[in-house]
Amino acid sequence: MDTIWECAFTHDAAAIHLQAIDLGGPGRSDDVVVVGCTSPVTRGESSPDGRCKTLRRRYDGRTSSTHASPKRAGLPERVLAHYEAAWGADYCRELPVHGPSSEIHANFCAVVFPPTAERPMFTYATCGMARGREAGEEHGVEIFMLSPSPDSQIVEVLAAVAQYHVAGRPLGLHHTVNFGTPWLSGGSACTFGFLSRPYLDGAEFEWSHSGVPPIRFLWLIPITEAERDFKVAHGADELERRFEEHSFDYLDPWRPSVA
């Protein structure tokens, strides 16, 4: 029997509640849901379109370098070195409004990379979500989101997902999460997220084997509730095929659903 896990949290991550929910029927993908605090939003402007047409076909053709910058400021060095090798050393860090909870790494933050000529979007990435072997993980997990503009709402979303990963059920490839709120402060039709491979950054970016345990880096793509239901019913590969067929714009908070 397939199940999903529902996690309710407050913004200060003080309350965690888990509940198993039957998805019904064999052959459906497992799912992980994070339910957050909601607030009224207004429709925002769409971002530039035409972002991604062939995600998976590009995946094996992109690689990242292995250099690292000395800029660390006490943050987990392996994670930062991995990000810098792929995205450069121009970044800043942001903390969730109430700071990291006691379950997350003490130095947890979101690392924000500004747009570049090659990568014309903001990149928000967790730093400190991976827990390590002492927490029973075979490999650590860090996640990132892409945005058309700077938005502190993304920091809150990433912190909530990291909180669930650490205090609830560990997340992994092709899990989905329910943000419980739009992923951008201006509003969005996408209130769920889908953990995918980092197709835009190449196969080498997905894993860091520079220490123990290895760390996996996954792309958290904002999706609609209908797309989440489609993934549960038909599987992650079918959802990604839909993305490609519809040339979906992953930066547009009001893009049409592909399901």
Higher pLDDT, 78 or 235: 235
The ranges assigned to domains in the chain are 3-245
Query: 28-46, pLDDT tens digit by residue?
Result: 344 444 444 333 222 233 3
Q: Taking the model in full, what pTM does it have?
A: 0.74
Q: How confident is the model at residue 101 (pLDDT cuts 50, 70, 90)?
A: low
Q: What long-range pairs does 236-239 form, CB within 8 A, spacing at least 24?
A: 236/29, 236/173, 236/174, 236/194, 236/196, 239/194
pLDDT digits (tens, 9 = 90+) for 104-145: 766 788 999 999 999 999 999 999 888 654 445 678 899 999
Q: Which pLDDT band, with edges at 50, 70 and 90, does 166 fall under?
A: confident
